[in-house]
Amino acid sequence: MPASPPTRTEPELALHAEDVVAGYIAGIDILNGCTVEVRKGELVGVIGPNGAGKSTLIKAVFGLVPVRTGRVRLGERDITNLKANQLVAAGVGYVPQNNNVFPSLTVDENLEMGLYLRPRKLRERREVVSELFPLLRDRRNQRAGSLSGGERQMVAMARAMMMDPDVMLLDEPSAGLSPKLQAEVFRRVREVNGTGVSVLMVEQNARRCLQICDRAYVLDQGRNAYTDTGQSLLHDPKVVELYLGTLAQG
C-alpha cells in the first residue's frame, strides 16, 4: 500500500482501518492489508466480488474477527480488537447481515435492547429514532419475528441508532429484499447518514450502493482494488467490466 492518498486539508476521520490483516482460521488471512477511511458525516460503501473480504472487514472493525496486524481508529482513539460491547459504548453501531433482530421480543423491546448500556436515555432516544423510522411506531408491540424482511432490517437499523452512534456499520442491508424494499432500505440509510452519522456500508447490490454513497472502495482478494467517489466508480469502464457487470446499464 502507498502511505496515504494525497490530501489537501486533512479531513477529519470518523473511522480509519489501516492495513488490516484479519481472518478466521489460523494461517489463513482473508483481509490482506486493507485500508478504509470514513470521514465525518460520510456515507462510504464497500463493494467487491464474493470472497473479497467485505463482511470480514466490517466484522474486523467491530471486533468480531481478530485483527492480526494493522489498526482501527475511531476518531483519534485506537479501537483495534476492542470487544463489541466496548465499541458500542464508544459510539459504533453495527447491523449484522442475518438474524439481526430478537425475534421473540417486540419492536419496542428490540429498541430497548439497543440502549441496554444507557437505559436512562430510553424515552428520548426512542422519540428520535421513531422519527426516523415512522413505520415502526405502528408495529411497536408486534413481535419482531412476525415482521417482513424489510421491516426487520428497519428494526435492526433503528436498534443500532438507539445508542446515538458516531459511526454505523451496515453489513449488506439490502440482501434478500425485493426491489421496492431495497429502495426503501437505501433511503433509510441515506436518512440515517443525514442525521450526521458516518456510515460504512458493505453491499452486494453494487450499483445501488455506488449510486447513494459519497465514496466507495472496491475490495478484491482482501485488498483495495479501487477507491473513488461512488459516481466515478459507477462510470469507470474498468470497474464496470470487472465488478459491476454490464447487465443493468440502461
Partner 1 sequence: MADEPEVVAQREALVEGEGTLAPTSDVAVAAHHALDGVEPRPGVAKPDPILVVDGLRRRFGGLVAVDVEHLEISRGAITALIGPNGAGKSTLFNLLTGFDTPDHGTWTFDGTPIGGKRADQIARRGLVRSFQLTKALSRLTVMQNMMLAGSEQVGEHFLSALLPRRWRHQEQELERQADELLVRFRLDHMRDELAGTLSGGQRKLLDMARALMTDPKLVCLDEPMAGVNPALTQSLLGHVTGLRDLGMTVVFVEHDIDVVMTISDWVVVLGEGCVIAEGRPQSVARDPRVIEAYLGSDTEDEL
**In the complex, least distance from residue 27 CB atom to partner 1, rounded to whole angstroms:** 12
Task: Yes or no: say if 176 and 185 are a contact pair by the CB < 8 Å rule.
Answer: no
Specify the residue, 50 or 141, whose C-beta has the smaller distance to partner 1: 50
Task: Yes or no: say if 68 and 19 are a contact pair by the CB < 8 Å rule.
Answer: no
Binding mask 196-235 for partner 1 (x = CB under 8 A): --------x-xxx--xx-------xx-xxxxx--------
Longest dimension (CA), the chain: 52
How many C-beta atoms lie closer than 10 Å to residue 204's C-beta?
Answer: 17
Binding to partner 1 in span 95-114, by CB under 8 A: 97
Answer yes or no whether residue 142 interacts with partner 1 by CB under 8 A: no
**In the complex, least distance from residue 234 CB atom to partner 1, rounded to whole angstroms:** 12
Specify the residue, 87 or 177, whose C-beta has the smaller distance to partner 1: 177
CA angle, 42 as apex, 229 and 130 as ends, to 5°? 130
Binding mask 52-91 for partner 1 (x = CB under 8 A): x--x------------------------------------
Specify the residue, 62 or 82, whose C-beta has the smaller distance to partner 1: 62
Specify the residue, 131 or 241, whose C-beta has the smaller distance to partner 1: 241
Q: Report how far residue 218's alpha carbon sits from residue 240's, in angstroms, rounded to the nearest whole number.
A: 11
The b-or-e profile of 163-200 (16+ CB within 10 A means b, else e) is: bbbbbbbbbbbbbebeeebbebbbebbeebbeeebbbb
Specify the residue, 4 or 85, whose C-beta has the smaller distance to partner 1: 4
Q: Report how far residue 138's alpha carbon sits from residue 148's, in angstroms, rounded to the nearest whole number.
A: 14
